[in-house]
């Protein structure tokens, strides 16, 4: 399927049904337990439709991932447009923890797919890093955070939080790491 040709309304609905079902299966944590053809039946579409939109399991997973990244990047832009810079950054970082917590199955599936060296995952990582860079830059420009901490350091903290999602007490510790990161970003009093 090419990105150049817009989908008919019925094809778009079927594609969205497949993506929605895949998200549900991710969140249930059994993406790899199902035969690939099962996604078509679960989404109420034919197997030809499944393969036309997503020729492989990895293509389906990557499409879900692209959608999640787009949602997160849109959220970052919305926060940056509506909140003071430091508050937008803090809200976004906390919402990332919420997102990771709500989509643990997706995180496990993506970790498995990362072993394949997917370019989509790298592309998504760059898009998220750009969103964080924009938030950090805005907060730096308004003088609320330090000049000597990069967005890359903030991304490393987010990656660490995501990688540790199987730890007991993960949510409390993840919230604590975000609190630590935000405290570390704050500009010291003059």
Going by C-alpha positions, the residue among 61, 75, 89, 85 that lies closest to residue 158 is 89
How confident is the model at residue 117, as a pLDDT? 60
How confident is the model at residue 2, as a pLDDT? 44
Token pair for 45 = 């579409």
Taking only the tens place, the pLDDT of each residue in 89-136 is 999 999 999 988 888 777 666 666 656 666 666 777 889 999 999 999
How confident is the model at residue 110, as a pLDDT? 64
Residues 87 and 139: beta-carbon distance below 8 Å: no
73: which residues sit within 8 A by CB, 6+ positions away?
Answer: 127, 128, 130, 131
pLDDT at 178 over 80: yes
Residues 161 and 177: beta-carbon distance below 8 Å: yes
* Domain residue limits, the chain: 1-55, 64-185
How confident is the model at residue 190, as a pLDDT? 72
What CATH superfamily is the domain 64-185?
Tetracycline Repressor, domain 2 (1.10.357.10)
pLDDT at 75 over 90: yes
pLDDT at 65 over 70: yes
Taking only the tens place, the pLDDT of each residue in 1-10 is 445 567 688 8
User: Does the domain at residues 1-55 carry the CATH identifier 1.10.10.60?
Assistant: yes
pTM above 0.85, yes or no: no
């Amino acid at each position: 399927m090419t990105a150049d040709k817009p989908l008919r309304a019925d094809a778009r609905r079927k594609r969205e049904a497949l993506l929605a079902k895949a998200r549900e299966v991710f969140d249930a944590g059994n993406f790899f337990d199902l035969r690939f053809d099962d996604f078509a039946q679960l989404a109420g579409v034919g197997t030809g439709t499944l393969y036309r939109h997503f020729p492989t399991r990895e293509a389906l997973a990557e499409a879900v991932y692209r959608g999640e990244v787009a949602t997160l990047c849109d959220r970052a832009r919305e926060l940056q447009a509506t909140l003071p810079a430091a508050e937008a950054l803090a809200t976004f970082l906390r919402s990332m923890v919420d997102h990771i917590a709500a989509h643990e199955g997706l995180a496990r599936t993506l970790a498995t797919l990362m072993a394949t060296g997917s370019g989509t995952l790298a592309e998504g990582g760059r898009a998220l890093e750009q969103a964080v860079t924009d938030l950090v830059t805005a907060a730096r420009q308004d003088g609320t955070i330090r000049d000597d901490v990069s967005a890359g350091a903030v991304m490393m903290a987010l990656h660490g939080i995501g990688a540790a999602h199987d730890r007991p007490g993960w949510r409390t510790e993840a919230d604590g790491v975000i609190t630590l990161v935000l405290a570390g970003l704050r500009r010291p009093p003059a």
